[in-house]
Structure 1
Amino acid sequence: MRLGLNLRYLGALGAGADPQTSAVQVREAERLGFSVVWTAEVFSSDAVSLLGWLAAQTSRIGLGTAVMQIPARTPTMTAMTAATLDLLSGGRFRLGLGVSGPQVSEGWHGARFDRPLARTREYVDVVRLALRRQDVVYDGEHHRLPLPDGPGKPLRLGTRPLRKDVPLYLAAVGPRNTALAGEIADGWLSVFFQPEHGATHLEQLRAGRRKRGRDLTGFDVVAAVPVVVGEDLAECADRVRMYTTHYLGGMGSRTQNFYNSLAVQMGYGAAAHRVQELYLAGKPREAAAAVPQEFLERTCLLGPVDRIADGLRAYAEAGVTTLSAMVFPEHGADGLGELRALTEAFEKSGVAE
């Protein structure tokens, strides 16, 4: 297993990181031997700008998007961006894509959130076609290039990519989405991954891989995991409560929140419903208090270094190949201490590749 780092949004709602803090953390992660850093976007800072800035300040660590939102860009624009970032970083870019959810897709990007699996499949087809510098001709249900009734003609990417096969990852929640990631991607970006259910997720990925006559060899199973190192378990959990609350309560709509549904499937139906109701009623602190401690302990790495080491072993045994930490320092400089403590736990765990 390898270590990665997931960065927070820049300045989001007063709780995000600032650019300099992010850069310092990434340079320290590179020094410590982390394999990759990921940037994200919802409707705050975008994933691409920060990653390009970080490419100029690092030399070895992989640079990935987790994720670039599919409804925010045409697939050919995404291919242009991937080729550019890969060139700027010297071949270190990893393209992570996700459909987001109905609230962001329709409320922020003005793109209908219907048939997300079919849209994703077509989108990835076009991205890969463009990165291979072939004429982009595609006749799909959701993407048609060039348009059949206008002056457009088949075009190909003008930039010569450093790599025609930029590693492509899909963020997916749910069995069908996860199987699709196994079928058409090079890696899976998961959230709220629980080691005890790892076998189920791996079988979903294998089902997708089998459609292409492949197995999981070389496929990257990435778990984004909040990490707080400390002696007081309850205090550690409190540091990640609001992050978890935002996903369970506000990511998606009242009737379609994939993360809330995932918590229901994990056996926390009543609590998940309560968190969402409080969050949508404008009571985020009460919603955070309603998140069960057990849920946080099952989906995060919390506590002393030895306990973190035990947790890392569980993730590795469950099939995770990259564990990407999200740190929640009380002060900016504390993030470096979290990364060093995680590295200590990683070394103790004995799961390094």
Structure 2
Amino acid sequence: MKIDDAADVSSSPLRAEAAAVAAEAAGYDGFAVSETKHDAFTSLTLAARATERIALRSAIAVAFARNPMTVATLANDVQLISGGRFQLGLGSQVQAHIERRFAMPWSRPAARMEEFVRAVRAIWATWAGEGRLFFKGEFYRHTLMTEFFDPGPNPHGNPPILLAAVGERMTQVAGRVADGLLCHAFTTPAYLHERTLPVLRAARGGESLDGFTVCLQAMAVLGADEAARAEAERAVRGQIAFYASTPAYRAVLDQHGWGALADRLHLLSRRGAWEEMAGEVPDDVLDAFAVAGTPAQVASALTARFGDAVDRVSLYTPYPVDAALTSAVAGLLRGQE
């Protein structure tokens, strides 16, 4: 497995840039930037200028908040600036955010995402000199590209496209049109091995996943002492409860027969009982979603759970954590002392 680091979800572009520099110095293979309070492409542009070796990924950029032309342009530019180190990670977000936060259309997200990716690739093909732009789909139409707006072929090639997916339909789309899958942190080994990977293989015609990149953010409970680990555990329970309360992620819980927990947490979330929700997550659910312990224990558990299935892994720690601990896990995963 390649070992990636990631910017904190609330990092400003300048903080993300500094974190990318630190990740490269620490020997990480890649660095991911999410899109919450700030634009992912801005942070990645700064990181591309400040680093030399490390792979850079949007994880994720919200596809449906944009259109294929804007995404094709942004990704092409970051690929140029980084010298070919960019990975375009896209996700759909959920209906409420697309319609009410971004004021953009929402319908049939899996079909829309498949067409979105195909449109981006059609635009890149035109820039590469493979014919005039003529893409007509159900959701997107791109039929105009004049020389004035054509950046030409990218000397580093086009970046790979990785799709975020949890449910079966979006996972099928990733297998058909993307170069990789971004697994949600709300994933268990059973769901990955029994649901996600078989769907991917079937979508790719039953082929092996050679050449297809599977990335995973793994929840981890780390702390320098017992008190710190207890605080980390509370934070991870809260994050699990938050995701478990979201109907879009119910399939993961249903895989384990935990549908009643999903119902209970959803009702609590509608009441805004966030503090109470964390206490509803039992130990077996925590253990299914998160690895815990010393850096050696966390590294060993990650290898046992995902070593034969995941190409790139990073730690998801929704709490303040000493960078020395996460670096120690990364070093152990790389086989270093």
The question of a shared fold, defined as TM-score above 0.5 by the shorter chain, is answered with yes
Q: SS of 2:214's equivalent?
A: strand
Q: SS of 2:50's equivalent?
A: coil
- 1:345 matched residue in structure 2: 332
- 1:149 matched residue in structure 2: none
Q: CA offsets per residue over residues 185-234 of structure 1, 9 Å max, x none?
A: 110001123223433222211111118xx531111111111233235465
Q: Distance in 2 between matches of 1:294 and 1:29?
A: 33
- 1:205 matched residue in structure 2: 200
Q: CA offsets per residue over residues 282-338 of structure 1, 9 Å max, x none?
A: 2211122222332232222321123212212124444111112223453xxx44223
Matches within 5 A, 1:81-230: 81-132=74-125, 133=127, 134-146=131-143, 153-155=144-146, 158-160=150-152, 161-191=154-184, 192-200=186-194, 201-210=196-205, 215-230=208-223
- Of 320-329 and 122-131, more deviation after overlay is shown by 320-329
Are residue 37 (structure 1) and residue 31 (structure 2) matched? Answer: yes
Q: Distance in 1 between matches of 2:191 and 2:255?
A: 11
Q: SS of 1:244's equivalent?
A: helix
Structure 1 residues 124 and 73, CA, compared in 2 at 3 Å: closer, same or farther? same
Q: Is the 8 A contact 2:14 2:43 kept in 1?
A: no
- Of 167-176 and 133-142, more deviation after overlay is shown by 133-142
User: Identity percentage over the alignment?
Assistant: 29
Q: CA deviation at 1:125?
A: 1.0
Q: CA deviation at 1:97?
A: 0.9
Q: Is the 8 A contact 1:221 1:321 kept in 2?
A: yes
Alignment partner of 2:241 out of 238, 241, 245:
245
Q: Distance in 1 between matches of 2:97 and 2:322?
A: 29
- 1:26 matched residue in structure 2: 20
The amino acid of 2:3's aligned partner reads L
Q: Which structure is richer in relative contact order (CA contacts within 8 A, separation 6 or more)?
A: 1
Q: Is the 8 A contact 1:6 1:39 kept in 2?
A: yes
Q: SS of 2:205's equivalent?
A: helix
Q: Is the 8 A contact 2:88 2:162 kept in 1?
A: yes
Q: CA offsets per residue over residues 21-79 of structure 1, 9 Å max, x none?
A: 5444332321232221111124x222111111222221111111111112111101100
Q: Distance in 2 between matches of 1:197 and 1:282?
A: 28
Q: Is the 8 A contact 1:228 1:328 kept in 2?
A: no
The amino acid of 2:292's aligned partner reads L
Q: Could you list the runs of 5+ residues in structure 1 that have no partner in the other structure?
A: 11-16, 147-152, 252-256
Q: Distance in 2 between matches of 1:138 and 1:25?
A: 39
Q: Distance in 2 between matches of 1:107 and 1:258?
A: 17
Aligned length: 326
Q: Is the 8 A contact 2:16 2:33 kept in 1?
A: no
- 1:300 matched residue in structure 2: 290
Q: SS of 1:130's equivalent?
A: helix
Q: Distance in 1 between matches of 2:97 and 2:23?
A: 31
Q: CA deviation at 1:248?
A: 2.8
Q: SS of 1:170's equivalent?
A: strand
RMSD across aligned positions (CA): 2.4
Q: SS of 1:239's equivalent?
A: helix
Taking structure 2 as the reference length, what is the TM-score of the superposition? Answer: 0.88
Taking structure 1 as the reference length, what is the TM-score of the superposition? Answer: 0.84
Q: Distance in 1 between matches of 2:75 and 2:211?
A: 21
Are residue 284 (structure 1) and residue 274 (structure 2) matched? Answer: yes
Q: Could you list the runs of 5+ residues in structure 2 that have no partner in the other structure?
A: none
Q: Distance in 2 between matches of 1:299 and 1:179?
A: 23
Q: SS of 2:309's equivalent?
A: coil
